[in-house]
Amino acid sequence: MEKQLLRLTVNNEYHELYIKPKKLLVEVLRDELGLTGTKRGCNTGACCACTVLLNGVTAKSCSVLAVQADGAEVTTVEGLADGGKLSPLQRSFLDHGAYQCGFCTSGMLMSATALLNENKNPKKEQIKEAIHGNICRCTGYNSIIRAIKAVVEGRYKEEK
Amino acid sequence: MIRDFVYLKATTIKEALDLLEQYKDDYKIICGGQSLLILMRQGLVVPKNLIDIKSVKELSYINFKPKEGLKIGATTTHREIEKSSLIKKHYPVLADMEENLASVQTRNWGTIGGNLAHGDPAGDPGPIFIALNASVKMANRERERTIPLEEFFADYFETTLEEGELLIEVQLPTIPPRTATVYEKFNIIKNDQGIVSVAASITMDDDHVSCKDARIVLGAAAATPVRAKKAEQLLRGHKLDNGLLEKIGKMAFEEADPVTDIHATEEYRRHLVKALTKRMVRKAWEQAKTIA
């Protein structure tokens, strides 16, 4: 099958590549661009481990054809840190032990990042709603919610 | 593994209709792809040509006029409906339904047209839209047609969309006075699809004592979302009491035609239909009574 041109800006870096139309966004990110921070979990759209920001809002990269993202801006977990400095959410996740095996962490971070971009002061219920789709099989949800709340409460500032 | 296909992208309605005509032997339309890609990955749907309408911006809109009602374009996302101040104000039951539909990720990308055209009897929007007396507009290169949403669903995952035809918009009439519409699904995990769902819409008579009109719609209880028409008929012209509510529940139990699957047995679903129908009819009744 003929390959098609895909133009994608990932973490502020512009890429042009040729891919088969059946390629999923998660496959392009991981296999073509080597950005393996985005995890491929269930691969059926049920676990949200593969969550990325697509034009600023969350999407499951296993449930989007890469060709449909042509021209889009994508942010993956690798794009959260600024010049090696972790984002407030990333630091808070570390301090709160908001992971065990770590497989859901990048998806959780992306969902939480999207939430805080949209709403600086979410209530606990809104935090739970935002990460509702992200499944953590170690069931560490409480520490994840605490980590996000700590950022909401202003305990983690952007590092200068 | 998804099999290879030819990818064709439309950016206008005209381009989409031209592509549908040109490739009408074997195509599938993709928009948000939140349902379709699952089926393609399982090899249940293997299209030769995939026509992408996600970028057809002319089909992404939410319009409301007090006399005409609501029009939602087919490529409007679930998230846009959920967040719309127009919908929150005039059709709050729709905003509530969207908040409980799948995950934020799915709502960001999935579209209302894709949801309906997927034809899943367990989908959330179908029963509510039918309770709200919705119609759908479709078009091919030659003409447009508009039909009640009830007639749009044909069978499990099948609709009456014809070859070369594109779903354009969902139309909801203005909600009549003294009317309340409610919806609930029964599931194990919040925001999952319902094992059974029921929508009920009740319009009270001028006297605020008896029922003028009722619509009861069952989700995941048959091959398509279906109205429990005999149950509705029991209510029209009458005053609700516990005896009547029991009869309405029993009638809906009879009218449902559910299957046994991994989620529940047929019998279990029938009991859910009865319980949820009673709950929704009572809730709609209590709300409608208080609307001036």
CATH assignment at residue A30: 3.10.20.30
pLDDT at B67: 94
- A interface mutation test: which of B6, B28, B103 has the most A CBs within 10 A? B103
- B103/A133 CB distance under 8 A: yes
Same domain, A71 and A106: no
Query: How far apart, in whole angstroms, are the C-alpha atoms of residue B191 and residue B196?
Result: 13
The torsion angle over the Cα atoms of residues B37, B39, B43 and B45, rounded to 10 degrees, is -90
Is 80 exceeded by the pLDDT of residue B127?
A: yes
Query: Where does residue B73 rank: exposed (0-12), middle (13-18), buried (19+ CB within 10 A)?
Result: buried
Residue A1 has its nearest CB partner, among B4, B79, B104, at: B4
Is 80 exceeded by the pLDDT of residue A160?
A: no
Residue A22 has its nearest CB partner, among B2, B106, B191, at: B2
Q: Is there a contact between A50 and A105 (Cβ–Cβ < 8 Å)?
A: no
Same domain, B101 and B138: yes
Sheet holding B62-65, edge to edge: B62-65, B69-73, B166-172, B135-139, B144-148
Is 90 exceeded by the pLDDT of residue A2?
A: no
Same domain, B70 and B100: yes
Output the average pLDDT for chain B. Answer: 97
Minimal Cα distance from A53: which residue of B?
B105
Number of domains in chain B: 3
CATH number for A108: 1.10.150.120
Average pLDDT over residues A87-111: 96
Average pLDDT over residues B278-285: 98
Is the residue at A159 inside a domain? no
Same domain, A112 and A61: no
pLDDT more than 70, % of chain B: 100
Is the residue at B89 inside a domain? yes
Domain stops at, among A54, A77, A100: A77
pLDDT tens digits, one per residue of B191-223: 899 999 999 999 999 988 999 999 999 999 999
Is the residue at B1 inside a domain? no
- A63/B30 CB distance under 8 A: no
Is the residue at A160 inside a domain? no
Same domain, A73 and A9: yes
Number of domains in chain A: 2
Q: Is there a contact between B208 and B194 (Cβ–Cβ < 8 Å)?
A: no
- Going by C-beta distance under 8 Å and a sequence separation of 6 or more, which residues neighbour residue B162? B138, B140
Same domain, B122 and B69: yes
**Inter-axis angle of helices A105-118 and A88-95, to 10 degrees?**
130
Domain stops at, among B172, B190, B212: B172
Average pLDDT over residues A14-35: 98
Domain with B20, as residue range(s), is 6-52
- B38/A21 CB distance under 8 A: no
Average pLDDT over residues A74-101: 95
Same domain, B206 and B265: yes
Query: Where does residue B75 rank: exposed (0-12), middle (13-18), buried (19+ CB within 10 A)?
Result: buried
* A38 part of contact set with chain B, CB < 8 Å: no
Q: What is the pTM of this model?
A: 0.96
Same domain, A14 and A72: yes
| CA A76 centroid distance within chain | 5
Specify the 3-state DSSP secondary structure of A89: helix
* A49 part of contact set with chain B, CB < 8 Å: no
Domain stops at, among B37, B52, B67: B52
Q: Which residues of A touch B45 (CB under 8 A)?
A: none
Same domain, B24 and B92: no
Domain with A51, as residue range(s), is 4-77
